[in-house]
Structure 1
């Protein structure tokens, strides 16, 4: 279980996250929603330890994450994979190498400096790309891919970490509806098939309802809703997002990414050059 107890984060006089108490069971798929500036990204970055808490504690199983240092912190960064809106790939490197970078915290420093990867690691990386239906891009420069493809490469890299948890910070915010669906389907598949806990910040209500078994709503740095999709009533949405200038509630239609698409056939391509290194 991931437990967040009394967590607050201040930036000067600004309180970005205020006294958050949340428990998330292993294997859950959780969507965090709220307006821009509600504290969603700050909360995820504190879990991953990209930023520190000002107050409170974060624990995973018996490990107090908020106090980790050195090697123990690097292990947590490995076990708690992070996926970003901006993809955070190395554009000039090929896709396969970008995915292999997910192994950095599993390997000796010397091997990382020499950029040496075993055949087994390359096979594992190809398998991750194949699972996300982009193995055919393995030898392309990452910067030449579309945004949706780059995000799937980032997910494949996260899988290479063999994580116990995946945090996704607005993973579909910059994607068109079709690619948004592909990315969310991929995260849901990882959650269902691998039992990996997935916590994702989302800006679309219908996406959170469709994919997440649990939804956490934040407003002004505080958790104001925590429940299932069926419990996310119009009143709850209004508390999370407030009202528009006319005093009306938020329309989910204008924030929708839903799209009907037929199943795509899986393409198989020979990748001996990639496996050979």
Structure 2
């Protein structure tokens, strides 16, 4: 169980995350949605401890992680793998070496400096790449791959850590619809087959609805919705994304995507009306 209790992050006078309290059971796939600047990325970075906590407590199975330092912090960051929008690979390094970097927190300084990895780790890295459909690219430089392929390599690196939790910060924001589907399918498969908790920030309602069993909506640093996809009502969407002038459409990047979710094309669009957000067939 991952638990956040009154977690807050301030940057000067600005409060990016405001008194967030959540409990995420092991094995859930959770989507966090909201406008840009809602606090989604800051929340994930606090869980991983890339960003410090200004107030409140983050714990995992009763172990307080918001105050960890040194070796214990590195152990937590190994257990809590992070996937980024821009992949965070080493561009000039070959793909398999990038995946093997998922074990750096488990290796000695000497082995890390000279890029020395045991044979069993290399074979495991290739096996993970095969699972994700990019094993043929193992000897290539990461910079030679497409964006979708690079994101799958980043997922492979996360799996190489043998994590208990995967945090994905806008993993499909820079991808075309086909690669977005491939990446989301991969994360869903990991969640279902490995039982690994996946918490992912997403810009689109359709993607969150189609892939996540639980959706958390954020606005101005606060959690304003927490429930199952079918509970995401017009009023809830309005609370998450806000309301504009009569008839103003919520942007496609917030509410819809051409991503074919689990093989099914998105079939709704959202339009803001005086009474709320109407979901219309297209």
Taking a change above 3 Å as real, the CA distance of residues 58 and 133 of structure 1, as seen in their structure-2 partners, is same
In 2, Cα distance between equivalents of 1:107 and 1:90: 18
Superposition TM-score, scaled by structure 1 size:
0.92
CA contact (8 A) 1:243 1:249 kept: no
CA contact (8 A) 2:126 2:135 kept: yes
CA contact (8 A) 2:169 2:201 kept: yes
Structure 1 counterpart SS, 2:66: helix
In 2, Cα distance between equivalents of 1:58 and 1:179: 33
In 2, Cα distance between equivalents of 1:30 and 1:129: 24
In 2, Cα distance between equivalents of 1:129 and 1:196: 18
Q: Following TM superposition, by how much is the alpha carbon of 1:245 offset from its aligned partner in structure 2, in angstroms? A: 3.3
Mapping of residues 8-19 of structure 1, within 5 Å: 8-19=8-19
Q: Following TM superposition, by how much is the alpha carbon of 1:261 offset from its aligned partner in structure 2, in angstroms? A: 8.6
CA contact (8 A) 1:34 1:203 kept: yes
Structure 1 counterpart SS, 2:182: helix
Q: Does 2:267 correspond to 1:256?
A: no
Q: Following TM superposition, by how much is the alpha carbon of 1:248 offset from its aligned partner in structure 2, in angstroms? A: 4.7
Counterpart of 2:267 in structure 1 is: none
Taking a change above 3 Å as real, the CA distance of residues 89 and 62 of structure 1, as seen in their structure-2 partners, is same
Taking a change above 3 Å as real, the CA distance of residues 24 and 261 of structure 1, as seen in their structure-2 partners, is closer
Q: Following TM superposition, by how much is the alpha carbon of 1:246 offset from its aligned partner in structure 2, in angstroms? A: 2.9
Per-residue CA deviations over 1:63-108 (Å, capped at 9, x if unaligned) read: 1000100000000010000000010000000001000000101112
Per-residue CA deviations over 1:197-240 (Å, capped at 9, x if unaligned) read: 00000001000000000000000000000000000011100110
Taking a change above 3 Å as real, the CA distance of residues 49 and 260 of structure 1, as seen in their structure-2 partners, is closer
Mapping of residues 100-139 of structure 1, within 5 Å: 100-139=100-139
In 1, Cα distance between equivalents of 2:101 and 2:261: 34
CA contact (8 A) 1:32 1:215 kept: yes
Q: Following TM superposition, by how much is the alpha carbon of 1:62 offset from its aligned partner in structure 2, in angstroms? A: 2.0
CA contact (8 A) 2:6 2:19 kept: yes
Per-residue CA deviations over 1:165-187 (Å, capped at 9, x if unaligned) read: 00000000000000000000000
Counterpart of 1:50 in structure 2 is: 50
Q: Following TM superposition, by how much is the alpha carbon of 1:249 offset from its aligned partner in structure 2, in angstroms? A: 6.4
Counterpart of 1:243 in structure 2 is: 243
Superposition TM-score, scaled by structure 2 size:
0.90
Q: Following TM superposition, by how much is the alpha carbon of 1:257 offset from its aligned partner in structure 2, in angstroms? A: 3.4
CA contact (8 A) 1:177 1:258 kept: yes
Mapping of residues 1-277 of structure 1, within 5 Å: 1-246=1-246, 248=248, 250=250, 255-259=256-260
- Where does structure 2 lack aligned partners over 5 or more consecutive residues? 264-282
Taking a change above 3 Å as real, the CA distance of residues 185 and 228 of structure 1, as seen in their structure-2 partners, is same
Structure 1 counterpart SS, 2:101: helix
In 2, Cα distance between equivalents of 1:166 and 1:176: 22
Q: Following TM superposition, by how much is the alpha carbon of 1:244 offset from its aligned partner in structure 2, in angstroms? A: 3.3
Q: Following TM superposition, by how much is the alpha carbon of 1:251 offset from its aligned partner in structure 2, in angstroms? A: 6.8
Per-residue CA deviations over 1:28-71 (Å, capped at 9, x if unaligned) read: 00000000000000000000000101000000002100010000
The two structures, once aligned, show a CA RMSD in angstroms of: 1.5
Structure 2 counterpart SS, 1:67: coil
CA contact (8 A) 2:210 2:262 kept: no
